[in-house]
Amino acid sequence: MIEPTVVTTDPTTVAFIAMRGPYSQTPQGLGRLYAWIGQRGLQPAGMPMGVYLTAPPETPEADALWELWAPVAGEPAEVEVGADGIGVKRVPAMLAASVVHKGPYEGLEPTYAMLWRWISENGYAPDGPPMERWHSDPAEVPPEEYLTEIIMPVREA
């Protein structure tokens, strides 16, 4: 595991899909999202992300609210969420604590716990929902090689 750092993220435009329920829906959700992007002639421009609007350890997975984001190139117009749950929005730059986890997704909990401690011990406070940027394609690498960047928006405490 790499030590956490504080970064300022770049502003970006993302296509996103609103999700509810089990995180095991991620592959299907990403499939729907990238199909939608292709149908509208948008160009993917970065690694996909999950944004957790309810706290995973505190919310039963059946009630989880989350979004899948896919950065897109250029500055396409924002699109309100349609009946399909998909839209386009701008995400402003933000101050965030970031750490990379290597290994299966099931092993992320200790990395999250370490990041929460690090944030508190270094004079920051959470300032938005946690995010994960997935740097590995599970269809191409084994779980022990997955690279997941955990990004936690923060502010100075």
Looking at residue 12, its pLDDT comes to 96
Per-residue pLDDT reduced to its tens digit, 130-140: 999 999 998 89
Which residues pair with residue 154 across a beta bridge? 126
| pLDDT attached to residue 1 | 58
pLDDT at residue 47, rounded to an integer: 97
Task: Point out the residues of the chain with pLDDT beneath 70.
Answer: 1
**Residue 78 exposed, middle or buried by CB count within 10 Å (0-12, 13-18, 19+):** exposed
CA distance 138 to 1: 19
Q: What is the CATH number of the domain that holds 106?
A: 3.20.80.10
Number of domain units in the chain: 1
Domain membership of residue 9 as a residue range? 5-156
pLDDT score recorded for residue 58: 86
Q: For 48-81, how does the pLDDT look when each residue is reduced to its tens digit (9 = 90+)? A: 999 999 987 789 999 999 999 999 999 999 999 9
Any idea what DSSP says for residue 79? B
